[in-house]
Amino acid sequence: MARGKFNKRGGGKRFEATSAAEIEQRNQRLQDFEERREKRRAEAAEEEMGIVAEDKKEAVVEDGNLNRRKKDASAEEDEGPPVQVTSEEDHKKNMARLEAVRKRREVAEARRKEQEEMEAELEEERKAKVASMKAAAGEEGGEGKSKKKKSKAKAIPKLSKIEIKKMKPAQMKVELKERGLEIQGNAKTLTERLLKYEADR
């Protein structure tokens, strides 16, 4: 290219070429520069959008088989995110917790069943005692109220202090009900009420 006084763009030394080889080298350098600039722009755009390549090793395929690259990329997308695996120590801790919870539930269930069975037994005993009392009262049907009360009192067995103190609240309520006493209150109140009644008999 000819150099002139007013031809500033064409007259620079860096654009001066004397042979086809130099022109080819200059064109190659410009092409490399453009490729690097485009690559930087693409990477900056990907970072801005939050896109990260999952496998950088497959950035360029030398044989130019784009179909294979697309197929591999779609296969990787189908696999989905990696599954987080629980460590052996965490697994043991989780199993220990589950076992403890299971044991607590079993104990609570056993207690509930035991309580239900005890209450059922007490109810059966109460019904049997009431039936025997009614039978005894029926035999003395011609007598007055005072005599009925005495026979009723005789039908109820007397309890000792030790027996009363060993009783559970549910059983004490049954005994109090048989004796026509109040069944409201805590265990201590029920015990005192039953002890007083038996002491006065």
What is the residue-level pLDDT of the chain in tens, covering all 201 positions? Answer: 445 555 555 444 555 556 777 888 888 889 999 999 998 888 887 777 765 555 555 554 444 555 565 556 555 555 555 555 567 888 888 899 999 999 999 999 999 999 999 998 889 888 888 888 888 777 666 555 555 555 555 567 788 888 888 888 888 888 888 888 888 888 888 888 888 888 887
Instruction: Confirm whether 76 is domain-assigned.
Output: no
Smallest CA-to-CA distance from 126 within 62, 183, 79, 86 is with: 183
Is 162 found in the same domain as 149?
no
Instruction: Confirm whether 168 is domain-assigned.
Output: yes
Is 162 found in the same domain as 125?
no
Instruction: Confirm whether 92 is domain-assigned.
Output: no
Is 107 found in the same domain as 142?
yes
Structural domain boundaries enclosing 189:
158-201
Looking at residue 3, the DSSP 8-state letter turns out to be -
Q: What b/e readout covers 95-113, taking b as 16+ CB neighbours within 10 angstroms?
A: eeeeeeeeeeeeeeeeeee
Tokens representing 108 are: 């609570």
Residue 77, classified by CB atoms within 10 Å of its CB into exposed (0-12), middle (13-18) or buried (19+), is exposed
Is 164 found in the same domain as 131?
no
> For residue 132, what pLDDT is reported?
82
Does the pTM of the predicted model rise above 0.75?
Answer: no
CA distance 58 to 43: 15
Instruction: Confirm whether 189 is domain-assigned.
Output: yes
